[in-house]
Amino acid sequence: MKAARQPVQRPRDARLLVVDGAGRIAHHPRSALADLLLAGDLVVANDAATLPASLAGRHLATGAPIEVRLAGRRSLAADDVASFLAVVFGAGDWRTRTEDRPLPTPLAPGDELALGPLVATVVRVVAAPRLVELRFTGVADAIRAGIARHGRPVQYAHVAAPLALWDVWTPIAARPVAFESPSAGFVLDWSVLDRLARRGVGFATLTHAAGLSSTGDAALDARLPFDEPYHLPAATVAAVRAARERGDRVVAIGTTVARALEHAGAQPGGIHAGHAIATNRLGPSTRLGVVDAIVSGTHEPGSSHHELLRAFVAESTLDRIDAALESFDYRTHEFGDSVLIERAVAPRCGYAAPRSNLKTATLANRLGRVRTTLPA
């Protein structure tokens, strides 16, 4: 795969690799997403808007330049904006790949960081040398204003120009609580929502504080994703329950939605509305209880997002997906192409066959009509 270098959320030529429950692969224009879904399906998206989580500044004691990337928070509460988990880089900026960024000056509890109009204190070093807990000084309104005016969206060395907030907010972006964009949501704009409604496809949202997708530090990346707070509105829970009772599919737009829904579904008494913190990690041993299909960006093997797909398909299928993405030149990263993966129908690892056989068959029939585009 190649990196998508232009920060265009919905390029006209964006593609969608579709994998049905039988593991069959088809290629579609991404604009066809609404047509691939069925009346009764429920699409669930993460409506978190993205914070300008990258804050440049200085380590006050030494004057050393640093970049702080906010990476985690304890809750979504409006006033809970003083404490953050953060990844700290040394000199330089986004033009350098994170893997090549120098370490920050050694940090210790009590160290103060001057970040534009903001002052933050290192509360504790969570994982030296980069991961710390910070506390901003000041009242909530002043902290929010400081982040809004001084912060920049987390940037990507593979994107040609610096990103502005409007580049990283999805069209449905609501509460600003994500640290990186829930970019699978780029696939949805308001006309797509209208098309979904006309097709009888339901739409619901949750708000999930999506964290950093990678830090460039292998030891830290192995800890991703961090714990992420989320909020499930009552209307969304009602819609999910109704879809499941009907035997219709729940389609998660993005890994954060899958993580939150599965976390909620695994709670005693099942999915319920309200605030919670996702501490789960989806992978090959996950038994999906809520989500039937996922729309995601194309992720490179080894990333936490890629690992999550193992909850949906067997390793052999994932290998075929990776090969298809590679040989058909799909674009990767935030502004790249997408996949729609329905979880495997065939029982594997001992879990029961999902209930959506009928719908899956219908999707398979749809895919059958475009078989001419399948790889040989």
170 with 47: CB under 8 angstroms? Answer: yes
Contacting other proteins (CB under 8 A), which of 39, 128, 234, 242? Answer: 234
Contact with other proteins (CB under 8 A) among 56, 126, 145, 345: 145
Tell me which of 8, 39, 61, 77 binds other proteins, using CB under 8 A: 77
Among 122-130, 202-210, 259-267, 367-375, the segment contacting other proteins (CB under 8 A):
202-210
Binding mask 51-70 for other proteins (x = CB under 8 A): xx------------------
Question: What is the pairing mode between strands 338-342 and 15-19?
Answer: parallel
Amino acid at 174: A
CA distances from 294 to 82, 146, 368 (A): 34, 36, 20
Q: Which stretch binds other proteins (CB under 8 A): 90-98, 145-153, 243-251, 281-289?
A: 145-153
**With binding defined as CB under 8 A, does residue 284 bind other proteins?**
no
Q: Tell me whether residue 273 or residue 361 sits nearer to other proteins (CB atom).
A: 273
Peptide bond into 109 cis (omega under 30): no
Please classify residue 233 by burial: count the beta carbons closer than 10 Å to its beta carbon, then call 0-12 exposed, 13-18 middle and 19+ buried: middle
Residues 171, 216, 247, 284: which binds other proteins (CB under 8 A)? 171
Residues 205-224, mask of contacts with other proteins (x by CB under 8 A): x-x-----------------
Near other proteins by CB under 8 A: residue from 37, 172, 178, 212: 172
User: Closer CB to other proteins, residue 196 or residue 282?
Assistant: 196
CB of 6 to other proteins, least distance (A): 20
Contact (CB, 8 A) for 38 and 201:
yes
Quote the CA–CA distance of 250 and 241 in Å, as a whole number.
10
Binding-residue total with other proteins (CB under 8 A): 37
With H, G, I as helix, E, B as strand and everything else as coil, classify residue 154: coil
Binding range to other proteins, per CB under 8 A, among 32-40, 96-104, 170-178, 295-303: 170-178
CA atoms within 13 A on the CB side of 249: 32
Tell me which amino acid residue 370 is.
V
Residue with tokens 């399948």: 374
Q: ∠ CA 286-292-296 to the nearest 5 degrees?
A: 85
Which residues are near other proteins by CB under 8 A? Answer: 47, 49, 51-52, 76-78, 81, 140-141, 144-145, 147-149, 164-166, 169-176, 190, 193-194, 197, 204-205, 207, 233-236
